[in-house]
Amino acid sequence: MQEGAPDPGLYDFTPYRGRRPFAWPNGGKVAVWVSPNLEYYEIDPPANPHRKAWTRPHPDVVGYAHRDHANRVGHWRMAEVMSKHGFPGSVSLSVALCQHHPEVVADANARGWEFFSHGIYNTRYSYGMDEAQERAIIEDSIRTVREATGQTIRGWLAPALTHTPRTLDLIAEYGLDYTCDLYHDDQPFPVRTRSGHLISMPYSLEVNDHYGFFIYNMSPREYARTLIAQFERLAAEPSGTVMCIPLHSYLIGQPHRIGAFEEVLRHIAADPRAWVTRSGDIADAWRAAHPEALA
């Protein structure tokens, strides 16, 4: 058999069964965090030779306008039901939103939501970037979010889930302490970089509303049942698990979908096995429970 590229050795293989059990704060069985993707899309972005920004020829008015619903309408509807049921957001932020629609960022900040970077625009990709360009995006993210919210970002989700081989090393070098870009586990896990360890924060593709509605073609009720099934299984397992609910408010914030989603929030909020929290708080609690893992 011909050998492929070597394993980069970012993390150890540790079978799920047999791990040391631990509990989240307040005796929680599953840490639940909601990740609203507050994004900005350009109607006619610069071309990237590795990936097209839109499926239609530019300008793609349909794709742009659908996503523009998020900041005009969907965010407010989504944020209100989250706050109503006690769910803070951990925001995957297109940092340019701080300039284009500062009202959305200010609203999330006033609700006590955490911010981490999702790049500058969700129509500009990491593919093909050199190191100087990637450093500029990280520096811009840190500076812009701090100026807009007073927060210092701790986490990273690559823009449109696009990466370079340097990404994890660079965000660790700049002092970030978790990445949402690995999707490889139901618990946090240490990731090796050139300048120490990051925490791999469980971020879900399977229960992401983009996958639910665009890939799996679920109805609102089917998506809600999927979220509840995900929660119930993770809450029944023996060790501290993580459930991430990634959202895009141009999808979940539509009038015909928000009611079913609110039922999910009501269900989880009423269950004492849930520790409803933010991604940074999960990183802190996991780090405190596993000091040896990041030594």
Q: What pLDDT sits at residue 278?
A: 98
Q: Is CATH 3.20.20.370 the classification given to domain 30-289?
A: yes
* 202 token code pair: 């469980």
Buried b (16+ CB within 10 A) or exposed e, 179-194: bbbbeeebbbbbbebe
SS (H, E, C) 250-292: HHHCCHHHHHHHHHHHHHHHCCCCEEECCHHHHHHHHHHHCHH
Q: How far apart are CA 131 and CA 170, in angstroms?
A: 9
**DSSP β-ladder status, 196-200 and 189-193:** antiparallel
In the numeric block, the tokens 């700049």 are attached to: 174
Q: How many CB atoms within 10 Å of residue 126?
A: 21
Q: How far is CA 213 from the centre of its chain?
A: 17
Question: Does residue 1 surpass a pLDDT of 50?
Answer: no
Question: Does residue 75 surpass a pLDDT of 50?
Answer: yes
Least reliable range by pLDDT among 2-11, 46-55, 277-286: 46-55
Q: So where are the chain's domains?
A: 30-289
Average confidence (pLDDT) over 51-62: 71
Given a contact cutoff of 8 angstroms between Cβ atoms, the answer to whether 230 and 207 are in contact is yes
pTM for the model stands at 0.93
Q: How far apart are CA 110 and CA 105, in angstroms?
A: 9
Q: How far apart are CA 186 and CA 291, in angstroms?
A: 19
The three-state secondary structure class of 213 is helix
Question: Does residue 139 surpass a pLDDT of 70?
Answer: yes
In the numeric block, the tokens 């999707």 are attached to: 183
Average confidence (pLDDT) over 176-181: 95
